[in-house]
Amino acid sequence: MQLPSTLLENSVAEFAKLPGIGKKTALRLVLHLLKQEEATTTHFSEVLQKMRKEIQFCQRCFNISDGSICSICANSGRKKDTICVVENIRDVIAIENTQQFNGTYHVLGGIISPLDGIGPEQLTIEPLIDRVSKDKVTELIFALNPNIQGDTTIYYIQKKLNKSNCLITTIARGIAFGGELEYADEMTLGKSISNRQPIHQYIK
C-alpha cells in the first residue's frame, strides 16, 4: 500500500497490528482521526495511555480492575462462596452479559496446553486452590471452552481439589465442543450457566 506520508504510513501500520484490523480498515480509522479536531484525537490517545498505565488486575480473581480489588469481588451482593472459573477476561464479560450468574470469578489466564508450552505453573491455579480453602467455597463452576485443552485443565484442577468438599460443576454443553464462550449468544451461554452439571458427567 503506497501512502503519501511516512507519518500516515506509520499510523496505519500500528492500527493494523490490532486483531481483526487489516491495512484498509486501519487506513480508514487513521483518516477518520485526521478529520477530527486535534483535541478529540489528543483525548483519544490520552484515554488509551491512562488505561494502559493505570489498569490493574484484581488481587483476588485476576479480573481487570481500576483498583486492587475488582468491582465484582467488592460487591457485597455477590455470592462469595460460588466461583466461576474462566480462561480469560473476555469470558467474564460474556457471562456477565447473560445476567444469569451472581457469584464471583477466577480468571486462569489461559488453559493447560503442553503443545503451546503452557503448563499449570503459567496459570493462576494455585491462587484458585487457596481461595477455595480460605473463602469456604461451596461450588466451583468451570466455564472453560469445551475442547480438549479445557477438559485437561478441568481434570487437573479437579484432582488438586480431591480432598475438598466443594461441589465442582461445569456449564451445560449447550456450547458446542470446540466452540468458544466469547462467541456464544447470550441466551445459550446463560442457559449453560443455569443448567450446569456435576463435573463427573463430563470428565472421567
Residue 79 host element (H or E): strand 79-86
pLDDT bin (cut points 50, 70, 90) of residue 188 is low
- As given in the structure block, the three cell numbers for residue 32 are 477518520
**Residue-level pLDDT at 177:** 45
The answer to whether position 62 is within a domain reads no
Mean pLDDT of the chain: 88
CATH of the domain at 38: 1.10.8.420
17: containing domain: 6-54
181/174 Cα distance (integer angstroms): 11
Which residues, in sequence order, are bridge partners of residue 167? Answer: 139
Number of domains within the chain? 2
Same domain, 46 and 108: no
**Residue-level pLDDT at 178:** 47
The answer to whether position 103 is within a domain reads yes
67/54 Cα distance (integer angstroms): 9
CATH of the domain at 189: 3.40.1360.10
**Residue-level pLDDT at 4:** 87
- As given in the structure block, the three cell numbers for residue 193 are 450457566
Q: What is the mean pLDDT of residues 84-110?
A: 94
The answer to whether position 115 is within a domain reads yes
Same domain, 92 and 190: yes
Provide the whole-model pTM: 0.78
The answer to whether position 64 is within a domain reads no
